Chain A
């Protein structure tokens, strides 16, 4: 199927319908995916018995199914915090924040993770800032 040549001048073509910048995500919550739910349960079980690597692996599997699921990123951040991987914990929580939209409970968990990661790294000022964010969110709940 040879497509028409389009590198030349576009002048003669009709205007495309959708030229205004594509806006932007109504914030539709994703339908709960039973596979992701099952993997979250699995991660919970694994972390309860102290198998944190296996819990993290289950969460990574869930992220392959739903890479934009803020809750899964948030849980992975918490596992990394438990494992003492403080930089990863903070980065993963920030990633979750970036996808959480207005999900106050996920945002709050993330700021809690960030606050703890920062304070354990000795970044007390940063930890206080995160605590402030956390309080602000808890006010909204």
Chain B
């Protein structure tokens, strides 16, 4: 070796050292980046919001159509073979289906083969269709009703590699990187090929990327196409492979890959893409669907099967040919798959919920316990009280009835609005919310934010206050309905008027409420004191401060429909207030319970006065201002409730309940102009439409032990004597029934006839 050569070698060694001094730290830096990012990689996952799971049991009220709708909301497919979860097959008054396994917080529901037979609008038989064994209770998986995102966002549903169908993975590898399991992160052969192509064109146009490189690119790098970036990508891919197993890298890829766009929402990962395009979970997909999804990795918008069905079909054939080439499928399988329809659901399940009004309520309740960023990034699973079937009936009833009322009352189209809240009487769960007639529109939520005078909806609070004083007031107590003026210290004198401008003389308390007489109610309220009535409203669950002006007695109090719902919930449950709830439980992304929102009740009234009040509220429907609703309801559906109308017919209200369900309806205009609608002609009709279609069951009251029945003559308010053959039997709190016997003197006309005369003949019975 010559000196010169030695010098050269030394120089080369020095240069290599210098290179190493520069390169090694850089590689170490890349290594650090790769590892910290990969291990710390926590995708920001939006919270998922679920409806209540439908629970099936023998005897429950349910129509085949309602069950069919629930299954189709869940993305179950009609398939008579019934050989996999998520398939169903309707038959003659029966339905068979295979449920999906689902982990609830308290237990896991296994997949079951279910046959439901219907009879008379109820579940008649519930059994395993294979073994024939009777099933006591089947809990379906819950419908996903929305997610909670930040404004601009990647959306994904995480999967573990073990949950991904093996054929999908094989398809992906066959198409994108067939040497995946053999290379070390880069594939020299394809890089060489790509370099050649790039040299020819003078820029970096071709990828030759392995799955690992694609992942690196998505995770760490910008999408610019430079040699420097390609080099970084290759080094990082090698590093990634050095640290992690093939399956770990593949799992990250399956969750990371971009597969579609909907507005500001980017669809990432195969699991969400499966729901987004096919409405089904990934593990229910079949070969043609895998093939399409894998192909779409190449260009989700160019191959969007909703907008470019032809391209998508061609792409799918291409992928199937690759699979056939590599002998992953048979020629027969390829043929069948190519002939299959794309199977894409026409509209993607919206990222924003189709139920904005309920989501609004939910978010307000969640806000008390969770930070916004937890909701948009932690992947929380939120199980709600929402009932999609009742919601649908509610939306339809409100929309159709309001349109009809606009025509009938010559209101300009689009001006009449409404809002509804439906809840369970006894546990306060909110089942449905309509914030306006356009249920899909997430604007002004009238159910939560429209604060309106409640008119006669306040009267139950007046009468409950009175009936809690059994020594002074019973249902038979005669009230004075004749004109009166109250002097208002520091204000104008107050002379309440009846809606029909009539004087009804002496009226029994029961009838004064049933017919919503204002004068007798005002007199009663002034006797017992306005502050007492306001206290009653508070106890019933109205949180808002109410100034105790006399006009409160006739409903000059502005409340929102949801506040009214709380007030009536307490009445409907016999005096046991249960705070209205929209959440049942919140789970972590891994399904661990984070927080439960358990049932809680507080007894705020003795059962007896609430029972008397409810008896009177039944009378409102059977004989009073809400009588017209009977023809809307199925036979035998007894209900109770109260109409409300405000000055000049601006607000039309009805609040009422059946055996299990409570609904509050408001109808009016956003500009607060008169509508021509009373509570009975507007809101009540919407209410009747809803109660008539949700499978409500009749209200049947159990009299509390401290209540006794007595026959009374309503004209005198006295106990009916032997001469009063047709007196009315009424409930009284023990010891409060009238002692004195009515003479029933005028013989020829019995008291029932007088009762009717008084209420239905002498005066028109319009509600206020």
A122 adjacent to chain B (CB < 8 Å): no
- Report Cα–Cα, A2/B700, bound state, in Å: 30
Select A91's contact among B603, B703, B752, beta carbons within 8 Å. Answer: B603
Instruction: Tell me whether B680 is interfacial, beta carbon within 8 Å.
Output: yes
- A25-B756 contact given A6-B680, A53-B596, A58-B106, CB 8 Å threshold: no
Name the contact of B426 in the complex, choosing from A2, A58, A63, A101 (C-beta under 8 A). Answer: A63
Q: Please determine whether A20 and B631 come into contact, CB atoms closer than 8 angstroms.
A: no
| Contact of A16 with B627 at beta-carbon distance under 8 Å, contacts A57-B596, A65-B60 already known | yes
Which residues of A (7-22) have their CB < 8 Å from a CB of B? 7-11, 13, 15-16, 18-22
Which B residue sits closest to A77, measured CB to CB? B601
* A37 contact from B136, B429, B681, B728, Cβ within 8 A: B136
A35 & B137 in contact (Cβ 8 Å cutoff) = yes
Cα separation A21 to B613 with both chains bound (whole Å): 12
Interface centre among B105, B429, B702, B728 (most CB of A within 10 A): B702
Which residues of B have CB within 8 Å of A61?
A: 55
| Nearest CB in chain B: distance from A68 CB, A | 7
Chain B positions 69 through 107: 1 when the CB is less than 8 Å from some CB of chain A, otherwise 0: 000000000000000000000000000000000000111
Chain A residues lying within 8 Å of B767, measured Cβ to Cβ, are: 7
Per-position 1/0 for B166-184, Cβ under 8 A of A: 0000000000000000000
Contact between chains at B702 and A27 (CB < 8 Å):
yes
Residues of chain B contacted by A10 (CB below 8 angstroms): 627, 760, 764-765
Q: A7-B680, A64-B427 are in contact. Are A54 and B106 (CB under 8 A)?
A: yes
A8: chain B residues within 8 A (beta carbon): 764, 766
Contacts A6-B680, A18-B622, A95-B576; A25 near B599 (Cβ below 8 A): no
Give A37 to B134 CA distance when docked, in angstroms: 14
Inside 8 A of B660's CB, which chain A residues have their CB?
67
The answer to whether B487 has its CB under 8 Å from any CB of chain A is no
**Which of chain B's residues has its CB closest to A2's CB?**
B404
Q: How far is the CB of B489 from chain A (nearest CB, A)?
A: 37
B59 within 8 A of A: yes
- Kindly state the separation between the CA atoms of A92 and B701 in the bound complex, as whole angstroms: 18
A30 to B374 CA separation, bound complex (whole angstroms):
45
B137 touching A23, Cβ below 8 Å: no
Instruction: Give, as a whole number of angstroms, the nearest-CB distance from B203 to chain A.
Output: 62
Mark B573-611 against chain A: 1 for CB-CB distance below 8 A, else 0: 111100000000000000001001011111100010000
Taking a contact as CB atoms under 8 Å apart, the answer to whether B601 and A95 are in contact is yes
Q: Which of A11, A24, A64, A91 contacts B760 (CB 8 A)?
A: A11
Known A-B contacts A3-B685, A6-B680; the reply to A23 vs B709 at CB < 8 A is: yes
The yes or no answer to B435 lying at the interface (CB within 8 A) is: no
Complex contact A20–B680 (CB within 8 A)? no
Residues A38 and B136 in contact in the complex (CB < 8 Å), given A10-B627, A16-B623, A95-B576: yes
Residues of B within 8 Å of A, CB-based: how many?
70
Which residues on the A side are within 8 Å of B607 (C-beta)? Answer: 98
Contact among A9, A21, A87 for B618, CB-based, below 8 A: A21
Across the interface, do B599 and A60 meet the contact criterion of CB distance under 8 Å?
yes
Inter-chain contacts of A3 with B (CB < 8 A): 628, 631-632, 685
The B141-192 residues at the A interface (CB cut-off 8 A) are none
Inter-chain CA distance A95–B134, complex, in Å, is 33
Whether B510 lies near A21 (C-beta < 8 A) is yes
Beyond A15-B756, A95-B601, is A20–B728 a contact (Cβ under 8 Å)? yes
- Give the complex CA separation of A31 and B426 in angstroms: 20
Q: Which listed residue (A16, A39, A60, A87) contacts B622, Cβ 8 A?
A: A16
A16 to B765, CA, bound (A): 14
Q: Is B209 an interface residue (CB 8 A)?
A: no
* Residue interface bits A35-56, CB-to-B below 8 A is 1, else 0: 1011100000000000001101
B600 proximity list for chain A (CB < 8 A): 88, 91
Q: Complex formed: what's the CA distance from A15 to B682 in Å?
A: 23
A24 in contact with B426 (CB, 8 Å): no
Which residues of chain A have C-beta atoms less than 8 A from B105's C-beta? 57
Chain B residue at minimal CB-CB distance from A35: B57
Whether B681 pairs with A5 at a CB distance below 8 angstroms is yes
Assembly CA distance A38 to B453 (angstroms): 47
Q: Please indicate the chain A residues that have their CB under 8 angstroms from the CB of B630 in the complex.
A: 16
- Partner of A19 from the list B58, B427, B638, B756 (CB cut-off 8 Å) is B756
Contact, CB under 8 Å: B58 / A34: yes
Given known A25-B700, A64-B424, A101-B702, contact A91–B57 (CB-CB < 8 A): no
CA distance A21 to B576 in the complex (A): 23
Residues of B within 8 A of A11 (CB): 760-761, 764
Report Cα–Cα, A98/B573, bound state, in Å. 10
Residues on A with beta carbons closer than 8 Å to the beta carbon of B755: 19
Q: For B136, list chain A residues within 8 Å (CB).
A: 34-35, 37-38
Q: Compute how far the CA of A45 lies from the CA of B593 in the bound complex, rounded to whole angstroms.
A: 20
Q: B518 in the interface, Cβ–Cβ < 8 Å?
A: no
Closest approach, in angstroms, between the C-beta of B673 and any C-beta of chain A?
Answer: 18
B731 touches A24 (CB 8 A): yes
Question: Given the complex of chains A and B, what is the CA–CA distance between A91 and B578 in angstroms?
Answer: 11
List residues of chain A with CB within 8 A of the CB of B709.
Answer: 23-24
CB-CB nearest in chain B for A27: B702
Task: Give Cα A63 to B731, complex, Å.
Answer: 28
- CB <8 Å contact, B55 and A64: yes
- A residues in contact with B627, CB < 8 Å: 6, 10, 16
A76: chain B residues within 8 A (beta carbon):
599
Q: Inside 8 A of A92's CB, which chain B residues have their CB? A: 601
Q: Does B2 contact A (CB under 8 A)?
A: no
| Closest chain A residue, CB of each to CB of B427 | A63
Q: Are A56 and B598 closer than 8 Å at their CB atoms? A: yes
Residues of the A chain whose Cβ atoms lie less than 8 Å from the Cβ of B424: 64, 67
Q: Give the residues in chain B near A117, CB-CB below 8 Å.
A: none
B701 touches A25 (CB 8 A): yes
13 new A-B contacts, CB < 8 A, other than A7-B680, A56-B598, A61-B55, are A3-B631, A6-B627, A7-B678, A7-B766, A19-B756, A23-B709, A25-B700, A27-B702, A34-B136, A35-B57, A64-B424, A88-B600, A91-B602
The 8 A-B pairs at the shortest CB distance, nearest first, are namely: A35-B57, A6-B628, A9-B764, A7-B681, A67-B426, A38-B136, A35-B137, A19-B623
19 pairs, CB–CB < 8 Å, chain A vs chain B: A3-B632, A5-B681, A7-B766, A8-B766, A9-B764, A10-B760, A16-B630, A19-B622, A21-B475, A21-B622, A22-B618, A22-B638, A33-B58, A60-B427, A60-B599, A67-B424, A67-B426, A91-B601, A91-B602
